[in-house]
Amino acid sequence: MTKANVFFTDFRTVAFGDGLPAKLKKLVRKAGIDQIDMKGKFVAIKMHFGELGNVSYLRPNYAKAIADVVKELGGIPFLTDCNTLYTGSRKNALEHLECAWENGFTPLSTGCPILIADGLKGTDDITVPIRGGEVLHEAKIGRAIMDADIFISLSHFKGHELTGFGGAIKNIGMGCGSRAGKKDQHRNGKPVVAHRLCTGCKRCLRECANDALKFDPVTRKMSVNQDKCVGCGRCIGACNFDAIRFTENAANADLNRRMAEYTKAVLDDRPHFHVSLVMDISPNCDCHGENDAPILPDQGMFASFDPLALDQACVDVCLAAEPMPGSQLSDNLARPGFVDHHDHFVNSRPESEWATCLEHAEKIGVGTRDYELIVVK
């Protein structure tokens, strides 16, 4: 496979010159986004709207820059994400939209609508075959994402407590999965009910097609019959009280492979383009309701037709950077007896692992890790 082109520009600007959104527009144009025929076509711009309380997510200004370019090329853009599997402020479409609005993402600020791709309760998905899948053979993807003619990822590149970092592949593979799709990737277990949170409303009961949910009329609490449960996660989407959750995580390497395979399912057979901003590099995912101090300095903006090459380029520039003083990373390195892994992401979160994801993505044909970095001034 030939090298992929990855285009890069830094965050430097000139006084009274163009701002960073204009610089981002120039970057994606140089990277060849206008090679995609967008005229009259629906264009999904997949991004993360940030959890409430977290302020390290990408600003709406960057989303507007991409949406503006799409409209200039004749496309019909919309911003999108899927609901979360965990409890928080984005587990159903209503809360998700309110979270996005509170974090500044509106049609006025971004220049396009916002759609939650897997619907009100995270159950509006479509099953997509995974060509070349080794761990999985099909993916459950938010329907609005698969209905789009063209797919663009706009990713905040940062650390992650399980996968080492979150970049394009995580934004696409995990982010485009419906709640059931996220369960396929993230969990090997089945849900349990926290009785202290259960109100006995029975809303979840309507969602179960396997007779796995039982209501105790004495305690007025729900419970899950583990023998009948298939682990679809639909009861989690039905619960408004955060009382139902999964308990077992898949191993990190398995999680990484599943994310790579979901990414392939999303991208196969349609035009796609990818942008990552390596900034506010917090040690954890933007799904957290908080963000710790950045572990590394801001690096710049990257764009490519190849999401794997894009992730590899972002990893490389981060691994070559100096840790930020006063960060989780620098604190770990200064701790007596700490084992230096010579990897900023693993040193920040020693329980994490990221290499498996990129290796598997290359193996199944998501893209190539071999790239040429082209600097845009």
Q: What is the 3-state secondary structure (H, E, C) of 299-341?
A: CEEEEECCHHHHHHHHHHHHHCCCCCCCCHHHHHHHCCCCCCC
How far is residue 181's CA from residue 201's CA, in Å, rounded to a whole number? Answer: 26
Would you call 360 helix, strand, or coil by DSSP?
A: helix
Which pLDDT does position 358 carry in this prediction?
98
What distances in angstroms separate CA 288 from CA 88, 131, 171, 284, one per listed residue?
A: 9, 32, 15, 7
Which pLDDT does position 278 carry in this prediction?
98
Largest interatomic CA distance in the chain = 70
Q: DSSP alpha helices (H): ranges in the chain? A: 20-30, 60-72, 93-102, 107-110, 143-147, 168-169, 179-186, 234-238, 252-267, 307-319, 328-334, 344-348, 355-364
Low-confidence ranges of the chain (pLDDT < 50): none
CATH architecture of 191-246: 2-Layer Sandwich (3.30)
Which pLDDT does position 248 carry in this prediction?
59
Which pLDDT does position 247 carry in this prediction?
66
- Tell me whether strands 300-304 and 4-9 are parallel, antiparallel or unpaired: antiparallel
How far is residue 162's CA from residue 177's CA, in Å, rounded to a whole number? Answer: 17
Residue ranges of the domains in the chain? Answer: 4-187+251-375, 191-246
How far is residue 234's CA from residue 228's CA, in Å, rounded to a whole number? Answer: 14
* 144 half-sphere exposure, CB direction, 13 A CA radius: 23
Which pLDDT does position 249 carry in this prediction?
53
Query: pTM for the whole thing?
Result: 0.87
Which pLDDT does position 250 carry in this prediction?
59
Cβ neighbours, 10 Å, residue 232: 21
Tell me the backbone φ, ψ of residue 102, rounded to 5 degrees.
-65, -30
Cβ neighbours, 10 Å, residue 372: 12
Which pLDDT does position 207 carry in this prediction?
80
Listed residue (136, 163, 170) closest to 46, CA to CA:
170
Tell me which long-range contacts 164-167 makes (C-beta under 8 A, separation of at least 24): 164/343, 164/345, 164/346, 164/349, 164/352, 164/353, 164/354, 164/355, 165/311, 165/314, 165/315, 165/318, 165/345, 165/354, 166/285, 166/286, 167/276, 167/310, 167/311, 167/314, 167/315
Beta carbons of 34 and 43 less than 8 angstroms apart: no
pLDDT, one tens digit per residue, over 272-309 is 999 999 999 999 999 988 999 999 999 999 999 999 99
Listed residue (327, 23, 356, 342) closest to 158, CA to CA:
327
The alpha carbon torsion through 287, 291, 292, 293 (nearest 10 deg) reads 120
Which pLDDT does position 189 carry in this prediction?
60
Look at domain 4-187+251-375 and name its CATH class.
Answer: alpha beta
Which pLDDT does position 188 carry in this prediction?
64
Q: How far is CA 371 from the centre of its chain?
A: 23
